[in-house]
Copies of this chain bind each other. A is one copy, B any other.
Amino acid sequence: MKRNSRLSAVLHALLHMAERDRPMTSEELATCLHTNPVVVRRTMAGLRETGLVTSVRGHGGGWTLARALEDVSMRDIYAALGEPMLFQMGNVSESPGCLVEQAVNHALDDAFRDAEAMLIARLGEVTLATLADDFKRRFAEHRATLKQLG
């Protein structure tokens, strides 16, 4: 399974896209995310398959957010990324022979499964709209600070 470091990158990208009224190119997004256009395309291609974004080729093309901010939760994005492994543990469920190992795996699996369920539920509670609001709040605060400093 794939890694998860992209969840935050994708959120970052989608929010930037939401702030603009025309498509963003892979190049622009790559600059934004401090990465490479091809990596952006690879990642966004997955999101396109689940209808989160659309892409247009050629002059004036790029990537566009396809759904309303309120309708996209962090969980949706996690799912669109293929529900990558959240934990740093190679699936413990190997070498079925040793009974000691079976007992260990069972206990660990239980704990990790519960934590994962909680985390995923939590991701479902936060939408892109939530994040956009938080961003706006930070932005207003930032401007207030600048003003205060002169």
Contacts and interface: CB of A to CB of B under 8 A. Distances in A.
B5 A104 contact: no
Copies, count:
2
Interface string A103-114: 111111001101
Interface residues of A, number: 51
Given A111-B122, A114-B122, A119-B115, A103 B88 contact: no
Contacts of A111: 74, 119, 122-123, 126
17 contacts: A5-B90, A8-B89, A8-B101, A8-B108, A11-B104, A12-B101, A15-B100, A32-B98, A74-B108, A86-B88, A99-B138, A103-B132, A103-B138, A106-B134, A111-B122, A114-B119, A115-B122
